[in-house]
Structure 1
């Protein structure tokens, strides 16, 4: 008889005679029978979830065996579409990040917690300002022109992935809706990538799915948890610019090269500025410290019939700029789960509500660090801004402007399930999301030079409201038949979302104190107003089969309906098949596995769609226009979109094959996957003749985009050397993207920017031929391969530069010694990017208001010189034209690879004697850091943002504590 450690009989335990094919399984009482067993035989006893044993027969007829439960990483829960499974039995490609990893990072956006942790997922932070946006791609760019955002689902409710800001787009990179979700409320984030995992979401899952599960109440005594931390952030990088001597030498040399003298606007050379002093503008403008404060408080507990959790959060984050700029957040999260006495009825209610008040300057001061070192001082002796007799624009004047956004975000979900008979479950899931954002930008009179005598200010106001609701009735049935476990799911989705936005501008404010009140304006100008309605309906099904714990099959299907397409094209059919073989469960492997404890081969193929285009594009649309004279007091209308009911779904066909291996009882886990996604029937703008009145119309064109690549994951866990235990996780992705076909492309506008066989993000550039040793100007290769100073990119030699990552990934290490735990994550990216050497409009030497990189000192000075940079100039002539060509050449692109210490966490667990004295259940103190070190050769402020005018991600240090009573 075979039981667990508590003496309960175990059903389905595999028992076989070592080195033979003779075997059986236990019945409902844990009993088994084997015939003609040799007296000296060894029995191998195994069951998933328990430690295997080998038992000697020793002439016995009744052999009692007790199996100890074993929970490996393979048996951790993985959230999938409309359910959950384990890594062991999952046929799809799903990566998970748990609450424990999120808690080690002092971040305000959940996306920041995923960087460097998920194979196949590249996340780029757009700016270091609070409330900034993130660019997210899962397995590359599938669509040429339509949306490539993944689908976000929070507790079963679809969540917006689109740009949320109207007025602050250039400042904070469009913003991110996930800034309004508290990371501390999240239990797990599961990223679904292949067809098997995403096809059941149909068109919404074309670019991958991110499932966010928030924390729930548990069956436990009441617990009160307090977590608080504070810290500072500083600008993470500096660029090496010319110092005072180098700058002045450059300016004087530019005038000598052109044979002219400084003019009335050359204030750095004509005596109007004091050139004996110098200012480090990076220190002046970005040298302050940002401050972080975060407090979390939660209460949870429950019994078999009811579980509850309620928590709150307050957070404040300032900037490195001078002034009272800050992002303040307050949120509440709750969850209530109630079960009937017979456990047949369950009701779960959860909700998240956040209020965010983000106040920033209406300008990123990072762009002002390029002021020349000899520019005037910032302040006069009386503390007022120095305008130096109207010879410059004081770089601190934008701090008088304001950008503010106030956001209310409500996300709620209710799930009601009923089990009328065993294994049959009827469920209704409903959700609601309401996001309201109010934005204001101001231009006060104090931001202008007093000599200009600007007497009135102006302000812009924008309101945006996004509402969505969803209902998903489902029915599922589970049945065991022979050696198989079958799980059948059938459901439907009814979803609707509305988006309303309006914008007005106020002019003629006589008092800057009234700028945030529209009624203070003497003139009000109406801006763009938009209203849209999106309706979505689908029916979906899934059949899952697990045969004997070895053979896995998962079939999904979905029929989608979208209001974004015209009649006859609104519906599409999508589906996938996923299969897996756990070959380590075969008898021939159990006898000869050696160190191999788990082995699985899986494969999938399926189709998903894409409808990430604007609403109503199949109709003829009109917009109000100030260019059209009003008629009888009503504003004029101009067409904005042409009627085209014929376009339909983009289709993404996904294929994947992978292998997963566990070694040494799964303490070492390795997996690798090869994927290939092909997206066709692309929704693109088709050019039209001018006589039509509009330049283009949306249409399906026969272009096919392919994304393929390899994903690698290696986990080494629970290793112990003396008193130190450690675990390591390594993940890497090698992606490839290319346009594989586009019949008729030569007749479209895309012929000048794309090429078959090249990535969609490839940049067409001229090929540099260095600096002409005689003239000192840049030269380029013509169509014959000869140097020329006047190239033509349409006919002369060019090449494509791929700015997609060549590979990327991360290495996470956890070390434990007694009560201490050290955890750190290195993120790495191999890529090419646009450098800052050619980012300015003016060529080196031209402007009295712009400094240049110190590398430019390696320039041409006289005939015969071999230099990397052309000669200095101060006029619009041949040298300036050559500089403009250089901006369109391979000179403007260079290595942007980097290795970044993304996260570091040092934790000390409070000893038991201290916890007992303080009546604590748990307690810890910790130090955490983010973006602490970047190793790169990138020529620019930051290789991630690759922008010369945006604040890079901050280097952050925090210290905090967590106490649970």
Structure 2
């Protein structure tokens, strides 16, 4: 029995010990805590147990360790998110942290001094002038020429490492290893570029009234002509067109400046002023040269709206200027292909759809108008006769007929006017005000000539170039 007990103890120790000695390397940003635990599990072959609702909504903005002990990694994670853990036989259980009775443990009250070195990643080059700050104690210092630093604080204080051009890194004093801190380069998004007649400027540096649209803004909209991309994107700009394919769109950027001359803005494409004259050669079949520009080939559009912006182009820019820059190839030893596809459906917006009368409503309106025409033909004061007939439909007579008799005459005229023809050329004797009312057609011709339109659009591009040529 003693032998069996010793063997069992040895077996448990073999299982339990590796969990404390294993090391982990991680570098994650904007990930879920569940993803971080999965990554630790794959590196250590450990099994994690936790309730889904405990960590489901926890987001890890930034977490980085390099060759750190598993227990140190778990201490750091749990400290940040108010959790605790327990390791039993290679299984790690995550649970809510129990609050101490006095609110603070003796370890948390100790004053600690951290010594370390800050290096850049990649390269492991010592970084000079990195700001090391204890935000909890309003203490800060900077790294020396060799990248070394020294800072003090209380167990659990957050120590931040900041440097221009690098991602800010935060470690916990007394929990995280600060012997060597790696800072990663920070990738900054370039500001929008304003293209003017004199060159390119950052959007923040330009004081005029301008709107910049990038290729991403255009790619999100299923359009056939680039003018329609302005809708809802450029304040004060109005676009209207007949809807005919290839027709010249009316673009109003600065209102109506002339009653006779064109009020269209000036278009400048890759530095060249573009003429918008009709290229079809026929006044009844207008064709716009702007329709030849594929929206997928546009890199950005700069809309210059105020007088100062337009003055760059003289009197031609009096109605505003729209500067278009097309996509350019990148010098490379290989050709690059791009493919985009769009598909969908298009409907006429219900708010602009005309509302037509029904057959019954039309019949009533036509008959009422015909009765008024018959009464007017009798001569005399038409308005007075009409008022008398409507106010006394039974007792007032005009030319021997009261209101209902005049209305009956108008109904008969309707039956005669809209009589349906037989194949032999004669007409049916229908009474559309009686038993034959259902024989009147009740067709919504707007629905008949329109439909839900399906569309598909594909763009295939090839780009490349060399030092002497771009395509």
TM-score by length of 1: 0.25
User: Which structure dedicates a bigger proportion of its chain to strand?
Assistant: 1
Higher relative CO (Cα under 8 Å, sequence separation at least 6) belongs to 1
User: Which structure dedicates a bigger proportion of its chain to helix?
Assistant: 2
TM-score by length of 2: 0.47
Larger radius of gyration: 2
